[in-house]
Structure 1
Amino acid sequence: MSHEKPPRPDEEVRHSSVTVAALVAMPGLGLVVRAGESALDRPVRWVHTSELDDPVPYLEGGELLLTTGLKLGKGKEKLRQYVHRLADAGVAGLGIGVGLTYDEVPQTLVEAAAERSLPLLEVPQPTPFIAISKAVTAALAAEQYRAVTTSFEAQEELTRAALGKDGTAAVVGRLASRLGGWAALYDASGAVVVAAPDWASRRAGRLRPEVERLRAQPAPASMALQGDSPEDQGTQDYVVLQSLGADRRARGFLAVGTEDRLSSGERYVVNAAVALLTLTLERSRDLRRAEDRMRTALLRLVLAGETVIAKEVAGALLGGLPQGPVRVLMAEGDGLADLGDRAEQAAARTGEPLLLAPEGDRLVLVAVDGGMVHQVCTDLATDLETVAVGISAPTTLESAGAAAAEAERALAVALRSGRRSVDHAEVGAGSLLPLLGDEAVQAFAEGLLRPLREHDRTSRGDLEASLRAWLSRHGQWDAAAADLGVHRHTLRYRMRRVEELLGRTLDDADVRMELWMALRASGD
C-alpha cells in the first residue's frame, strides 16, 4: 500500500473523450497522423500555439501544441531536442502546420516523435490553428456539461437512496455502482459497517491501518493511496479515504476504490456521497445536547432508585435499560468523547442495553456486568492514556446509586495513583498506605507535626521520634522507652510536652489515629 501524490493535470482528464484520435476524426480539420499512432488515445486538455523554440516553460502538460516551426529551422539535432522536450513536458501531441516553414513535416520530427511515442499531426495549410482550438474548446465544454449533468443525476440518485430504507447501505451501494468499483463505510472506531459489492468487505478490512491514521486527524480529512486489487492478481486499485464529520470529530469513514484515479466528475459524486453520509451520521448539536440532557435525567432517576419510572422512559428513548448484574463505570479525562463513542458502538454491535450520560466533567455508564461495553471501556482507558475509569462491584439496577459511590471511590484511587482503571474490589482488598502519598494528606501531616518539628530543631529532646515509638507500641510505656533507650518517666514527660504543643490529648483515639497517619504520610 503506497500513498499517492495529487494527480497531474493530464491525469485529471484521463476519462476525457476529447483525445488526439477524436480530433483526427473530426471532419473539416483534415489532420493527418505522421507518428505516435499507438498514443492517439491521449486526452487533450487544451490547445496551445507557440512559435518558440522552447515553449516548455509555458506548458502544464496535456496540451496539443501547434506550431509552424518558424524558429526551429531544419537542423536535425535541434528538431530532435525539440520533440524530446515536449515529450518530457507531457504534451498530448504536436501539430505541425505545413505550407509556411515546411512544405511537409520534416522526417527528423517524424522519427523523433515515433521514438518517443508522441502523436505527431500534420495540419494542412487550409486549416487555421484557431479552428482546432475552437473544436477542442467546444468538445471540452460539451464534455463538462455532460459531466455536470451526470453528476447532478448521481446526486439525485444518492439522495433518493439516503432517504429510503437503510439509507447508508443504499448510498454506499449506489456509489460503488456509479464508480464501477467498490465502496465501504466504517464507524468511528474504524470497523467496517457496510461494503459494496459483498467482496469489498475483505478489501476494506485491509485498510484498517490507514483508517487508524486518518482517525488521528481532525475531521474532515482525506488521503489517497494505491494498493493490490481485491482479486490479488498483481493489479492495483486506487483508493480514496475520507473521514465523515462536521465538528472535527470523525463520526465514520468512507473508502472508495476504482481501477483508475477518480475523474473530476467522479470526485463530485464522491463528495455528494460524503455530504449525504455526513448528514446521516452527524446529528445536529442541538439534538445531541437534548439527548445528553435526557440521558442525564434518566441516569439520575436510576441512581436515585426510581427505576420503575426510569424503565418506562428508557423503553421509548433507549429501547430499555441493562438487566441482570450491572456495573457502574465512572470516567474522567480528555478522551471522554471517544470513550463514549466506542461504548455506544460496542453496545450497538452486541445488542447490549447501555445507559450513558455526561455528569459534569465525568462520563457515567451503567453497563452489563462482564459485557462488551465493560471490556471496551477498560481496554480503551489503557489505550488512550488520557482517561481514568472507576468501576463498581456487580450489583442490580435498583442498587445503582450505591454502585455509583463505589465507582467514584475507585475513580479517585485511579486518579491519585496514576492508574488507568480501578475496580472497586481492588480498593477494598488493598491498603490505605499508598493513598497517603496524596498532596493534600501530606500537607495536613506537615501542618499537624510542625510544632513538634520546630521544638526538636530548637530545643533538646526528640518529641517526634518519641511520639512515633509510643504510638507504634500502642501506648506501652516500658516497651516504647526501651526502644528509645530512655527511662519511662522521661518518655512520659515528652508525651505531656507533645500534648501541650499540639493542644490535643493523646487519650483520644481519633487524635492518636491522625498522628500516626501523619507520621506515616511524612515518611519514617
Structure 2
Amino acid sequence: MRLRALLETGSLGLRLLTGEEELDRGVRGVMTTDLRDPGRYLSGDELVLTGLAWYRAPEDAGPFVAVLTKAGVAGLAAGEAELGLVPEPLVRACAEHGLPLFAVTEDVAFATVTEHVLRQVSQERAGDLAAVVDRHRRMMSGGGAGGGPDVVLDLLGSDLDLRAWVLSVTGRTVAGPGAVPGAESAEAKGRPLPDDVRSRLAAAHLTTVRTPSSGHRSHLLTTGGATYSLFPVRGAGPTDEVPGRAALSDWFLVVEDDARDWPEERLDLLHGITQLIAVERERRDAARTVRRRLATEVLELLHTAAPPAEIAARLRVAAPVLLPGLGSAPQWQVVVARLDGVRYEDGRECRSLLEEILLDPRTTGADTADRVAVTHSGGEAVALVPLPALPQRDHGTGGTADGADAPDAPNAPDASRAAPAADVEESAYGTDAAPAPPDPTPGPGPGPGGLDAGTLLAAVREPLERGLPEGTRLTFGVSATVRSASGLHGALEEARHARRVAAARDGRVCAAGHEELASHVLLLPFVPDDVRRAFTARLLAPLREYDRRHRAELLPTLAAFLDADGSWTRCASRLHLHVNTLRYRMGRIEQLTGRDLSRLEDKLDFFLALRLS
C-alpha cells in the first residue's frame, strides 16, 4: 500500500508533518520500536511507529532518523501520547533525510495502525498473486506451456518478492535458481539451494505426503537458518486419489517463507500456482510416451529372444529420438530397478521413480538426462540409456572407427567393417559388453564408461531412505556399456543380476554395478542362510567366544590382517601393535581354529566367513 492511502484514512488519525513529495512510497510492513538504534530489526519498506521513549535531547533525533533512512523504511509515525507534540528537531531531521513523518494522535492506538497496515498489505499481495496466476494462466492457454514453471517462479520473485523453487522427490531442481547447472542468464540468476538442503526438503515432502493432509496447506521445514514452506504439486490422475501413490512422481513447490500465518485466500492462490505447475509436469510426462514405447518394444524383443538384426532395426529408430543429431550409433546401457512395498507391486511407480533418478544431470549428465527411455515389466522398471559412441582404437586398418563400425552396431552399413575380434571383450553372457576406455577429461554425469551405480545411489539415497514409506525398498543394478544390439540382452541380464546383489544388502535404497559381478560379491548374497550360519560358526565362533571371555580382539585383528593382504608390517602399523604382538594373536587364532594362515585356502575361508557374517 502507499503512504498516501494511510494519510487519507481518517480513522487512523495521522497528520503529515514533512515529506509530502514522498507519499507514493510503498509500505510492505510495520514495526513498533522505542530503541535508539533499531536498524538490525529493519528490512526496508516498513512504516515505523515510535512512542518517542528514546528521545531525551534534540541531538538524539538525527542519529535515529539516519538509522531509519539507511534501512530504507517507508516512513515514520510518532505518537503524541508521550511528549505531546512531535519534537521539532525530529521534524527537521526527517526533512533533511527526505523521510516522511506522521504524527499519531493520542486517542489512536498503535495496534489500530498496525492492524490496518497489515490487513491492507495482505490484501494487496493477495491481489498481486491473483494477477500473477491470471497472467500465467493466460500465457499457458495462449502459448502451450508458457515457458514452463520458471515463468511463474520469475513472477513470484519480481511481483511478490518470494524466492521459490520446484523440486522433485529426489531433490532435483526442476525450476528456479540452480535448475540449469552453470547457467548465468537472467532467467537462471539467484541463489541455488544447496544439495543437502534439497535432500532434506525432498525427504520432508515424501514424509508428509504419505498421509492425507488437510486441504492444500503447506508443510514447513527449517534448515540452514531458513524456513521453507512446501506445497505439493499434484496432477489430476487417478493415482492421486490414493494417499502416497502419486508421491514418487510428484514435484513440489518450495517457497522461502513461513506460510503458517498466511491468510486462507493467499494459500488458495498458491494452490492455483501448484495446479499450473502440475499442468507442465503432466505435459513433460506425456512427452516421454514415445521413449517409453520404444523401451517397451526393445524389452519385448529381448524377452522373446528376437534376432540381433531385428533388435538393431528397432535401435536405429530409437537412436534419433533419444539422441537427435548424434550422427553415429550410440552405446547403450541398461538400468533395472525394483520398488518393493505393498503399494508398488505393478512397476509403474518404480518406472516413474527411475525416470526421475535418471533425469538428474548429476547422474546422467545434462546432455543425456531427458533422453532416457524407461518402461516397466512386472514389478521392475527397465531403463535404456543411450550414450554417444566412442571412437575405437585402430588395429592396423587405418585411422579410427566410430561406434557405427562396432560389431552388430545398430546402424552399421556393412558387417564386414566390424572391428577385429580382439577389440571386443566377451562377457559371461557371450555379449560384447566391453568396458569403454577411460575418460581423459572427466566431468559431471557419466563418462564414456557410462553410468555408475555409486553415482546414481549418492544422488538419491538420502531423500529416499528418509522419505520412502516404512517397509518399502528401492534396489537397482547397472550394466556395463554395450556397443551393439547383440550385447543388449546380456546387458539386461547383467543389470538384473546386479540388482539382486543390491537386494541382498542392508538398507532401504541399494545399488550395485556390473563390476561387482566379477568377484565373490556376486556369490555371497545367494548362499543359503543355513549354509551361511554353519560356515561362519565353524570358523568364527571359537574366536567370538575367546574375545568375549578375554577381550583379546582376535576377530578385528584377523580382519585387519586380511585387509592388509597378509602383510605383518602393514597390519601391525594399522593396529598400532608391535609385530610380535600381532604374531602372538595370529598364532592364537590358528590354535583356536585349527587353520594355518600361511595357506591361501585358509586365508580365503576366513575372508569369506567374515564377509558372510
Q: Compute the TM-score of the two structures, normalised by the length of structure 1.
A: 0.48
Work out which of the two has the higher radius of gyration on C-alpha atoms and give 1 or 2: 1
TM-score, length of structure 2 as denominator length:
0.43
